[in-house]
C-alpha cells in the first residue's frame, strides 16, 4: 500500500490531486472543459504530470468541437478519446476500469470524464453507487479520475449553484467543487470554483477569467484563461451587489434623493421620512442609505455625507449625469 501512495501533486492546480477522484459541477457554458484543458496543459508544461498518462474522454462534444480539442491534445501529447471511435465503447467503461485495476496498470493513470451524465445516470441512486464503487476500485490502485458534471437548474437561497442528481456521487468522491459564474459581459467571463468536499490541501476557492467573445480558435480561447486574486473577486462581487441594489431598490433611492433635495438631509429625519413615505422598515432604509453613500457616482454612490458636532450626519446629493 505504501508503494501505491501518490505524492501530493496536483493534476489541476489547487483543484484535483493525483491519486484522487475529483468531481467538478458547473452550469452550462461556464467553461468547465476550457478551464480543465488549460490547467492540464499547465501541469504538463511544468512537468508535474506525464501527458501519456492522461486519457481525456470527450463524450459531450460535436464533431467539430472534438476535432479542435483533439488537435490540442495531440500538440501536448495526451490522449483524447471519443465514444464510438477506434472501438471505444462507452457502455463498457466500467469494465475497462476494472480490467485496468485488476492488471495493476492503474497507478499514475489520469482519466477525465466529460461529462459525467454520459457515463452514469446520476439521478439513479443504485447506478450512481455502483459507478462510484468502480471508480473507487480504480483510484484505490493508484489511478486518478476527474469528472465534469452539471449543476441543478435551480440554485440555493443565496443564488449559488448546487449539484445535480442524487448525493451519492458527491458523497463517494474524494474532492468536490462547484463552479459559479460571477460575471459575464461582452469581454470576459469570470467563474469561481467553490470547494464542497476535500481530502488534501486543495483551495477553498479559486477564480478564473477568460475571453467571452468570438475568437479565431479554441487554442486562443484556452490561452485567454487567467487566474485572478480573491481581492479582485471581492471587488467584482461588491460591484455586482451595488448595481443590483440600484435596480432592485430604485424606488427607495429615488425617494431618498427627493427628500434630500427638499432639505430633509439629516440621517434620522431622512430615514423616518422615507420609511413613512414608502411604508418600509427604518432598518431597510438605513441599509440602502449607507450602501449608496460615497463620492463616486460610477461606483453606485448617489449621495455624500458629512459629519459635524454631536454626531450629526448631513447628506448631499451627487449630480446625476444625463445624456
CB 69 within 8 A of CB 58: yes
Nearest to residue 261, comparing CAs of 301, 309, 311, 320? 320
Does residue 176 sit within a domain? yes
Residue 122: strand pairing partners: none
Nearest to residue 126, comparing CAs of 186, 188, 83, 169? 169
The reply to whether 169 and 303 lie within a common domain is no
The reply to whether 165 and 90 lie within a common domain is yes
The reply to whether 197 and 299 lie within a common domain is no
The reply to whether 223 and 253 lie within a common domain is no
The reply to whether 284 and 141 lie within a common domain is no
Q: Report how far residue 25's alpha carbon sits from residue 177's, in angstroms, rounded to the nearest whole number.
A: 6
Q: Report how far residue 317's alpha carbon sits from residue 265's, in angstroms, rounded to the nearest whole number.
A: 9
Does residue 38 sit within a domain? yes
The reply to whether 261 and 143 lie within a common domain is no
How many domains does the chain divide into?
Answer: 2
CB 64 within 8 A of CB 70: no
User: Helix %, strand %, coil % for the chain, to 5?
Assistant: 40, 25, 35
The reply to whether 309 and 192 lie within a common domain is no
Backbone angles phi, psi at 211, to 5 degrees: -60, 135
- Would you give per-residue pLDDT tens digits along the chain (323 residues)? 565 555 578 999 999 999 999 999 999 999 999 999 999 999 999 999 999 999 999 999 999 999 999 999 999 999 999 999 888 999 999 999 999 999 989 999 999 999 999 999 989 999 999 999 999 999 999 999 999 999 987 777 666 778 887 889 999 999 999 999 988 888 999 999 999 999 888 999 999 999 998 888 999 999 999 999 888 888 888 888 888 899 999 999 999 999 999 999 999 999 999 999 999 999 999 999 999 999 999 889 999 999 987 788 999 999 987 53
CB atoms within 10 A of CB 211: 17
Contacts of 226 (CB under 8 A, 6+ apart): 208, 209, 210
Does residue 196 sit within a domain? yes
CB 77 within 8 A of CB 54: no
- Quote the pLDDT of residue 157: 65
The reply to whether 33 and 138 lie within a common domain is yes
Does residue 148 sit within a domain? yes
Task: Find the helix or strand (DSSP H, E) in which 178 lies.
Answer: strand 175-184
| Of 198, 228, 258, the domain-final residue | 228
- Quote the pLDDT of residue 77: 97
Question: Any idea what the CATH number is for the domain that residue 191 is in?
Answer: 3.40.50.300
Does residue 236 sit within a domain? no
The reply to whether 190 and 266 lie within a common domain is no
CB 279 within 8 A of CB 267: no
Question: Any idea what the CATH number is for the domain that residue 260 is in?
Answer: 1.10.10
- Torsion over CA: 291, 297, 302, 306 (sign): positive
The reply to whether 108 and 66 lie within a common domain is yes
The reply to whether 254 and 215 lie within a common domain is no
Residue 238: strand pairing partners: none
For residue 284, count CB atoms less than 10 angstroms from its CB and return exposed for 0-12, middle for 13-18, buried for 19 or more: middle
Find the domain containing 34 and state its range.
10-228
Q: Report how far residue 13's alpha carbon sits from residue 25's, in angstroms, rounded to the nearest whole number.
A: 17
- Quote the pLDDT of residue 323: 39
CB 59 within 8 A of CB 119: yes
Q: What is the pTM of this model?
A: 0.79
Does residue 141 sit within a domain? yes
**Cα 211 to chain centroid, rounded:** 15
Does residue 288 sit within a domain? yes
DSSP state of 264: -
Amino acid at each position: 500500500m505504501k508503494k501505491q501512495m501518490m505524492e501530493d501533486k496536483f493534476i489541476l492546480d489547487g483543484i484535483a490531486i493525483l491519486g484522487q477522484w475529483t468531481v467538478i459541477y458547473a452550469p452550462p457554458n461556464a467553461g468547465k472543459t476550457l478551464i480543465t484543458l488549460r490547467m492540464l496543459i499547465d501541469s504538463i508544461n511544468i512537468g508535474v504530470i506525464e501527458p501519456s498518462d492522461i486519457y481525456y474522454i470527450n463524450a459531450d462534444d460535436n464533431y467539430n468541437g472534438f476535432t479542435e480539442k483533439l488537435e490540442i491534445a495531440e500538440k501536448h501529447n495526451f490522449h483524447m478519446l471519443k465514444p464510438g471511435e477506434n472501438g471505444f465503447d462507452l457502455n463498457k467503461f466500467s469494465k475497462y476500469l476494472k480490467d485496468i485495476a485488476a492488471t495493476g496498470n492503474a497507478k499514475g493513470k489520469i482519466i477525465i470524464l466529460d461529462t459525467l451524465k454520459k457515463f452514469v445516470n446520476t439521478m439513479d441512486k443504485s447506478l450512481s453507487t455502483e459507478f462510484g464503487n468502480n471508480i473507487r476500485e480504480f483510484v484505490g490502485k493508484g489511478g486518478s479520475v476527474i469528472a465534469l458534471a452539471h449543476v441543478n437548474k435551480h440554485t440555493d437561497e443565496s443564488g449559488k449553484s448546487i449539484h445535480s442528481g442524487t448525493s451519492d456521487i458527491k458523497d463517494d468522491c474524494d474532492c468536490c467543487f462547484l463552479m459559479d459564474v460571477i460575471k459575464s459581459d461582452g469581454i470576459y467571463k469570470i467563474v469561481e470554483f467553490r470547494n464542497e468536499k476535500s481530502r488534501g490541501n486543495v483551495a477553498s476557492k479559486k477564480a478564473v477569467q477568460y475571453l467571452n467573445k468570438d475568437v479565431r480558435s479554441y487554442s486562443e480561447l484556452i490561452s485567454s484563461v487567467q487566474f485572478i486574486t480573491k481581492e479582485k473577486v471581492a471587488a467584482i462581487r461588491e460591484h455586482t451587489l451595488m448595481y443590483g441594489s440600484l435596480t432592485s431598490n430604485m424606488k427607495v433611492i429615488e425617494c431618498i434623493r427627493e427628500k434630500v433635495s427638499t432639505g430633509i438631509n439629516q440621517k434620522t429625519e431622512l430615514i423616518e421620512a422615507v420609511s413613512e413615505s414608502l411604508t418600509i422598515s427604518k432598518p431597510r432604509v438605513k441599509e440602502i442609505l449607507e450602501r449608496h453613500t460615497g463620492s463616486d457616482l460610477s461606483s453606485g454612490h448617489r449621495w455624500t455625507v458629512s459629519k459635524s458636532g454631536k454626531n450629526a450626519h448631513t447628506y448631499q446629493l451627487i449630480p446625476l449625469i444625463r445624456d
